[in-house]
Amino acid sequence: MTSALLTGVRFAVLMGGAAAEREISLQSGENVALALEGADCRVTRIDPATEQWAEQLSGIDFVFNLLHGPGGEDGVLQGLFDVMNLPYSGSGVLGSALTMDKVRTKQLWLGMGLPTPEFALLTADTDWSGLIEQYGTLFVKPALEGSSIGMSKASTPEQLEAAWERARAYKGGVIAECFVAGAEYTVSILGDRALPAIRIEPASEFYDFDAKYVSDSTGFFCPSGLTASEEAELAALALRAFAAVDASVWGRVDVMRDIAGAWQLLEVNTIPGMTSHSLVPMAAQAASMTLIDLMAEIYRLSMEARYAS
């Protein structure tokens, strides 16, 4: 059934790009391209960082977009493909743009009564001492970058200012989020279905870029160790959070569980990684899906989303 669904479709796999997660995008794209080719699909690899890349879209039936971060995950290319009437994977313009903006994502969640850590925007005029006194330990990260780019932890005014300096090297504002002590989970979304949750135990102090993409010491647990009722509660929350920001088709919702047992939403990824360290394929495997099964379902759901009446 999987191969029949994909038979005859001319696929483009978008990978690379010019954002900070370029190398991860190249790995994700190659992983997907090889899976499609293994199912006898016709695949064209396209890197938008090259000149006249759009000309390679001629004759393409469907785009698997594996570009991570600004320029690929933020609604820009989604809008282009809509104008071209070219079907593509994942969320549309609005969902992509909202989820790329951590501040507006959290504002929407708060407006809907969904739990997310308190936060503040950092500028050159920020009262570093006052913010540490108010919140204690903070996570600092660029507001318009990928989930593990430019992030650091700060427990003193000096650390907070230094973290802001690091994060503001990227485009967009800088957000400081109240530190949540507890276990970290991620829930992969596929259509209106939540795949089995994964509990993350980073080898380093927190789940940064190296822990996510490089280290072989980070622990990923699926089953997550939650009870059936806890798993169902987390799945329902993740689906609500995903829908709240108009995300669709597939993605990943990152969540913390604080020491009191309460869930705290962190962010949504509308184009998660598809590398050997990536979590969506891991969750799909726990749901008895191969990588090509996953890609076929993303294709099916995307086509439904693009051409829904």
Active site residue 309: no
Catalytic residue among 177, 184, 267, 297: 267
Catalytic residue among 88, 273, 278, 297: 273
Report the DSSP beta bridge partners of residue 177. Answer: 119, 139
AA identity, residue 77: L
Q: Given the residues 31, 65, 248, 269, select the one marked as catalytic.
A: 269
Active-site residue, 213 included? yes
- 72, 252, 299, 302: the active-site residue: 252
82 alpha-carbon distance from chain centroid: 21
Residue 135 among the catalytic residues? no
Give Cβ neighbours of residue 197 (< 8 Å, ≥ 6 apart): 185, 186, 187, 222, 224, 226, 231, 234, 235, 238, 283
Respond yes or no: is residue 252 known to be catalytic.
Answer: yes
273 catalytically annotated: yes
Q: Which 3 state secondary structure label does DSSP give 283? A: helix
Catalytic residue among 16, 17, 21, 145: 21
3-state helix vs strand vs coil in the chain, percent to 5: 40, 20, 40
Q: How many C-beta atoms surround the C-beta of residue 233 within 10 A? A: 13
21 is an active site residue: yes
Whether the CB-CB separation of 103 and 121 falls below 8 Å is answered with yes
Q: Does 207 participate in catalysis according to the annotation? A: no
> Which residue in the list 90, 254, 297, 299 is annotated as catalytic?
254
**24-56: b or e for each residue (b if 16 or more CB lie within 10 Å)?**
bbbbbbbbbbebbeebebbbbbbbbbeeeeeeb
In the three-class reduction of DSSP (H, G, I as helix; E, B as strand; rest coil), residue 213 is classed as helix
91: closest CA among 75, 67, 102, 76?
75
300 catalytic? Reply is no
- What gap in Å lies between CA 25 and CA 275, rounded to an integer? 8
Q: How far apart are CA 60 and CA 215, in angstroms?
A: 36
- Which entry of 147, 148, 188, 224 is annotated as an active-site residue? 147
Considering 177, 213, 224, 257, which one is annotated as catalytic? 213
Active site residues: 21, 147, 213, 252, 254, 267, 269, 273
